[in-house]
Amino acid sequence: MARKTSKIPDHLNTALPIEKRVESLVARMTLEEKVSQMVHTAPAIERLGVAEHNWWNECLHGVARAGRATVFPQAMGMAASFNDSLLNKVAAVISDEARAKHHAAARLGNRNMYFGLTYWTPNINIFRDPRWGRGQETYGECPHLTARMGVAFIKGLQGNHPKYLKLVATAKHFAVHSGPEPLRHRFDAVVNQRDLRETYLPHFKAAVQEGKVHSVMGAYNRTNGEPCCGSRTLLQKILRDEWGFDGYVVSDCWAIKDFHEGHGVTKTPLESAAMAVREGCDLNCGCLFLKLVESVRSGLISETEVDRNLKRLMTARMKLGMFDPEKNVPWSGLKPSIVNCDKHRRLAHRMAQESMVLLKNNGILPLKKDAMNYGVIGPNSFSVPALLGNYNGFSPNLKTIAEGVMGKVSEGTQVVVSKGCELTGESPISLGDFCGRTRDFADAVIAVVGYTAEVEGEEGAIAGCDGDRHDYGLPGKQMELLKKIKEIGKPLVVVCTGGSPVDLTWAQENADAVIMAWYPGEQGGNAVADVLFGDYNPAGRLPITFPKSYDQLPPFEDYAMKGRTYRFSEAEPLYRFGFGLSYTSFKYGGLKLSKKSIRADETVAVSVDVKNTGRRAGDEVVQLYVSDVNASVPVPRVHLEGFKRVNLKPGEKKTVKFTLKPAQLACYDDDGNPMVEPGDFRISAGGGQPDDPHAGAVTAILKVK
């Protein structure tokens, strides 16, 4: 009698196409099992070989909330590098650490939150208003910069293997979402079609079509009346039908219950769950989708619709290798020892260096390492939260700014450190004997002030605060502290931490130098010290505009772009988008267009020469801007369409090349349709915006026939 052979179930047969494997798996599930896999805490289905999986993981600037990891600068700081290729390397390191931690945890039977392979990163919302507390998570206010940084990050996370995804990246929060935080569960972000297509969607489109992002997270709010996690317009018509997205959509956490509790578009949890699935949301961060069993049985939605959405989720898990032998998956052999290894820390150090933005320098910087005495004062001098930002990991190698300074100076140099005041609140300033000692012999005082994620961030994440920034100035007594330090009469260097614009008007007028350090990650203290003492020549650029005051801004709840960001504001800012100083100087010339006149469907090549005219080697961020001179509809006054970070030795000249495609010259009609109109386009290249006197920009006119 012949021995019976056990047939491998189709969904576990690696020789079959993924589509067939997924079909087989879903067909074997009961309705209850199907629904159980559509919430973020998906349980195991042992009879089918489905492992437990928690979909919720974070890695904005390093693997977050999962123990030890390399902590890179917060996203806004990395955007200030204007270096998408470096960001791609950062994301690849993050994905290495995520894979190593996942496989180590799985071998221990640990399937808990933050150890999975599906990451809810990057946040590519446009930072349209500096009052939004979550702006630190974004790449700033420019759709082009956000698109380029977002695509680079997504590719670094997901990898380029022909069969497997390294991780799943998630572009969030789709779409038209940037505060106010306290209103997000009931707010309707009303936006016209021109602003929608010109500002709020281009970077998401790039994430889908160029980055091939496999997941998109819907926003809490409504957009033009539809809840974003159940919007037929956003999720079906635009994302899937127009852009060809073939991944899955996840809701923001507990956003589905907002349908009936906050937005009032449904009346019951059953209706909310059914609406979300029907309109294209596949995964519920939360537990409301467990109501789908009852929704199906009550006729609110069909099991076929549930199957459609579930297949998208199971396709992702198949592509991650979750149903394949571990040895088949390319990254299963990554050793845990790579987590926060020396190589990764060096990359964090480099990214922190490239993120530093020098806003003012009257010649005091760089400081001398062998001075007699330096004072380091301010609530963020020894602050670990000032390094981390939000959605952060933890490292045993954190270097605060005071530690960075002490590690940089000579052994004969004294560093006097004082907190000076609390981060927030009205507790009195306490200088102790700092003032007298510093007045006697200090060479300079380094004031480390600003924000931490303890006072700006997400709604509900900060005790006693809604997350948003309602005051543009420095928190607590910090402004008073700066004025008292100024009275000492020594050179004053202000180092500001934060994830969004800060009113630095006083510092710009009274300090000798100002540095924006953002939330610079585990090597932030070393990177700040590198800039202070000249071991690194700063070249970071602002990815956001610093207004002079909130009075220059439209109302926070108004999502119209008029008057917002460098693209549409006519007001003179404190610091421009794209601005940043160096310890050397650069000169631009030789701007050339491959054609001076083109048809609307043609591409044009642009080249410009940049020369280091100073005495130090350094990076320069070459920026390409476009202005539509003859538009018949409202257009941005200027918009970034190219950038490249280049290193130049003293006296060295390089030619930097860009390509302008028709889409980069487009304007939008009232219905949001793109068009390239005949007329003149002003093409500018330099170290910043064309109207920035520090940028040295050169300009040419391109004619479109």
Q: Which positions are annotated as active-site residues?
A: 252, 456
Tally the C-alpha atoms within 13 A of residue 189's C-alpha that lie toward its C-beta: 29
CA distance 158 to 117: 10
Tally the C-alpha atoms within 13 A of residue 583's C-alpha that lie toward its C-beta: 20
CA distance 459 to 133: 8
Coil, strand or helix: which one is 403? helix
Written as one string, the DSSP assignment of 301-340 is S-HHHHHHHHHHHHHHHHHTTTTS-GGGSTTTT--GGGTT
CA distance 140 to 136: 8
The crossing angle, in degrees rounded to 10, of helices 18-28 and 303-319 is: 130
Contact 425, 384 (CB under 8 A): no
> What region, left, alpha or beta, does residue 441 occupy, with left being phi > 0 and alpha being psi -120 to 50 degrees?
alpha
Coil, strand or helix: which one is 25? helix
CA distance 223 to 699: 38
CA distance 398 to 401: 10
Neighbouring C-beta atoms of residue 225, cutoff 10 Å:
12
Angle at 393 between CA 247 and CA 79, to 5 degrees: 65
CA distance 421 to 541: 29
- Residue at token pair 């320098």: 361
Coil, strand or helix: which one is 289? helix
The burial class, CB within 10 Å (0-12 / 13-18 / 19+), for 432 is exposed
- Residue at token pair 């330099």: 686
For residues 23-57, one letter each, b for 16 or more C-beta atoms within 10 angstroms of the residue's C-beta and e for the rest, the string is bbbbeebeeebbbbbbbbbbeebeeeebebbbbbb
CA distance 362 to 667: 41
Q: What is the dihedral of CA 147, 151, 154, 158, to 10 degrees?
A: 160
Q: What is the dihedral of CA 469, 471, 476, 477, to 10 degrees?
A: 140
**Both tokens assigned to 572:** 């003179």
